[in-house]
Amino acid sequence: MKKTKALLHLTGRTELLLTEWVPIGPNNFSFLCDRLECGTRGAECVLTSETDPGRNAAVVGIRGDETLTLKVVEFEDMDFIRFEARPCYDTPGRERKEKVIGVDLGRNGRVTYGMRLLPHNGDPDRYSVDDLTLIAADLVTDTSRTMDALVNAYQRQMLDVIYGRETVQRDQFLVVQAQAMEPAPASVQALLDNAAHRAELQQILGTIHDRRCFDAGDGGLLLSGSRGILLISPTPETYARLVAFAALMGCINSLQDNILSKIWRSWDVLNDEKKLIRTEGVAKIEHIQGVLSSLTADKNVIGAVPICLQQTLAEAEAFYQSESTSGDASVIELMQKLAIGRSLQKVRDRLADTSRVIDDFGTEIENVRLLASTLAQKETAGINRAMNILTVVSVIILPLTLITGWYGMNFQRFSPSDGREIGFWNMPELYWPYSYLVCIAVVVLIAISLSFFFHRQGLLFRRRRVRVGEEDSLIED
């Protein structure tokens, strides 16, 4: 990350809200409540890098050997759990400060991490955007590892597949709230027109969406980017609900981007395997079958994500309808400025597209598997066909070999020295008239009879039906 000159500072009460979505679902949420004993308000859950030390504990590694204690501060059965944690951090070139992290976990996968920066040893509430960028990066790592400890193995497998085994660096949407900014900009447009200020803000917000940046009614401002939102307002709670909703939509959009990206990469792998089938044939069949099994497993895991997202989307639509019909002109205006309706529609459309792409990918996997299976069967059928022909030919030749071997024995009826008869039964047919022709006729008759028999059984000169125009004809292999 490029270090800027710390031109902008946020003052007053400063909070960082990090939003992500994880595939939890109501059943796993209930299990997590039982695991953390949420029936007792104020219960503590100690996260360590060791194996699970008890029913109240989850397993996680926070910066090596350090531990993080989560305290359940509020919960609603089958609705949400709120945790609280207080680790410390060091700002670049400054004394150690304390950050308070709150975790709000909803039953349908919405997770919001809240961190308020507190003064330490009389320091003023003044933070540069550079410092906040580093703090946010540290918060992303810690919160991701913490959530990985709370989800079960199947949910972690989903996250691994979606994010390519880099779940610690998965996409999260950041909201930064402060009461004032120094130097105070004349307007949002003036702030964005300053190239140096814009570059500094992009460190934490990503690509800034100018159309979603505006001056707030209470003298503050709101900046929206691809990775986050910056809200400057003396009363940020006025915007809290809608900003949190916009953050959730941004997070889900990023998640769908990752899912589609994973599907397209897997599709490229599938196309490579299809080419391998056509070029290598059955020589690589075991490798191809292994790759297809792996792709099928990933597809089944990813296929469960849209189902979980449907539940979250239903709650989001209910919230949107409630806010839209509230009659509060300021709320409706803010929703329009944040393009919340458009974001919700985008999530809905992309969710339908994602489900369709996953289904199409599954169909393509089955088609490639069928192609590989057909090729293997054809190869096996060819080998079996060759073995059948060899067997039939061997059976036909066997009696002929027996006859030639029989008459190849050196038994003689007359003595070669004096011409006297040695024995009448020493192959008397050798001296019969036309014996050679009779032997040839017998050999030919046996060969023809056996060939005709095997042909009728479909083992030799098998007939197959070929369509020519509108008529069927029979040809022989």
Verify that 73 and 165 share a domain, yes or no: yes
Spatial distance between the Cα atoms of 189 and 206, rounded to a whole number of angstroms: 17
User: Tokens for 230?
Assistant: 């910056």
Residue 120 — very low, low, confident or very high, per pLDDT cuts 50/70/90? low
* Residue 261 lies inside a defined structural domain of this protein: no
Of the chain, the percentage scoring pLDDT greater than 70 comes to: 74
* Residue 212 lies inside a defined structural domain of this protein: yes
207 and 192 in contact (C-beta within 8 Å)? Answer: no
Three-state SS for 275? helix
Verify that 159 and 38 share a domain, yes or no: yes
99 and 85 in contact (C-beta within 8 Å)? Answer: no
Q: What is the mean pLDDT of the chain?
A: 76
Per-residue pLDDT tens over the stretch 204-228: 888 898 888 888 776 788 898 888 8
Long-range contacts, 158-165 (Cβ 8 Å, 24+): 158/23, 158/301, 158/302, 158/304, 158/305, 159/22, 159/23, 161/262, 161/298, 161/301, 161/302, 162/255, 162/258, 162/259, 162/262, 162/302, 162/305, 163/258, 164/262
Q: Would the pLDDT of 114 be above 80?
A: yes
Looking at 200, 221, 238, the residue that finishes a domain is: 238
Q: DSSP letters of 130-152?
A: HHHHHHHHHHHHHHHHHHHHHS-
In this prediction, residue 61 carries a pLDDT of 34
Verify that 99 and 216 share a domain, yes or no: yes
* Residue 256 lies inside a defined structural domain of this protein: no
In this prediction, residue 47 carries a pLDDT of 41
Which of 95-104, 115-124, 145-154, 347-356 reaches the highest mean pLDDT?
347-356
178 and 232 in contact (C-beta within 8 Å)? Answer: yes
Verify that 217 and 339 share a domain, yes or no: no
Spatial distance between the Cα atoms of 381 and 207, rounded to a whole number of angstroms: 59
Verify that 228 and 297 share a domain, yes or no: no
Q: Would the pLDDT of 423 be above 50?
A: yes
E runs forming strands in 12-137: 14-21, 44-48, 58-59, 68-76, 80-85, 88-90, 96-106, 110-118, 126-128
Verify that 352 and 455 share a domain, yes or no: no
Q: DSSP letters of 212-231?
A: G-EE-TTS-EEEEBSSEEEE
Strand 126-128 to strand 180-182: parallel, antiparallel, or no bridges (unpaired)?
unpaired
- Mean pLDDT value across residues 335-357: 87
User: φ and ψ at 99, to 5 degrees?
Assistant: -120, 140
Q: Would the pLDDT of 457 be above 50?
A: yes
Looking at 358, 388, 418, the residue that finishes a domain is: 388
Number of structural domains, the chain? 3
93: CB partners within 8 A, 6+ apart: none
Verify that 193 and 319 share a domain, yes or no: no
Q: How many residues make up the chain in this entry? A: 477
* Residue 251 lies inside a defined structural domain of this protein: no
In this prediction, residue 106 carries a pLDDT of 82
Q: What is the 3-state secondary structure (H, E, C) of 302-363?
A: HHHHHHHHHHHHHHHHHHHHHHHCCCCHHHHHHHHHCCHHHHHHHHHHHHHHHHHHHHHHHH
Spatial distance between the Cα atoms of 394 and 386, rounded to a whole number of angstroms: 12
Verify that 419 and 368 share a domain, yes or no: no
Strand 80-85 to strand 68-76: parallel, antiparallel, or no bridges (unpaired)?
antiparallel
H or E element: which one contains 464?
A: strand 463-468
- Mean pLDDT value across residues 128-136: 85
Cα angle 423-426-427, degrees, rounded to a multiple of 5: 145
Verify that 345 and 292 share a domain, yes or no: yes
**Sign of the Cα pseudo-torsion (441, 445, 446, 448, in order):** positive
User: Tokens for 83?
Assistant: 């945790």
Per-residue pLDDT tens over the stretch 1-56: 444 567 888 888 888 888 888 887 777 777 777 666 555 444 444 443 333 333 33
In this prediction, residue 58 carries a pLDDT of 39
- Mean pLDDT value across residues 377-383: 77
* Residue 437 lies inside a defined structural domain of this protein: yes
The domain of 471 spans 407-476
* Residue 401 lies inside a defined structural domain of this protein: no
Per-residue pLDDT tens over the stretch 75-105: 776 677 777 765 555 555 555 555 567 888 8
Lowest mean pLDDT among 158-172, 250-264, 342-356, 463-477: 463-477
* Residue 402 lies inside a defined structural domain of this protein: no
Spatial distance between the Cα atoms of 471 and 461, rounded to a whole number of angstroms: 22
Verify that 123 and 174 share a domain, yes or no: yes
Verify that 128 and 230 share a domain, yes or no: yes
- Per the model's pLDDT, the better-predicted residue between 40 and 458 turns out to be 458
Buried b (16+ CB within 10 A) or exposed e, 120-133: eeeeebbbbbbbbb
Q: Would the pLDDT of 200 be above 70?
A: yes
Whole-prediction pTM value? 0.68
- Mean pLDDT value across residues 253-271: 86
- Mean pLDDT value across residues 389-407: 82
- Mean pLDDT value across residues 292-303: 86
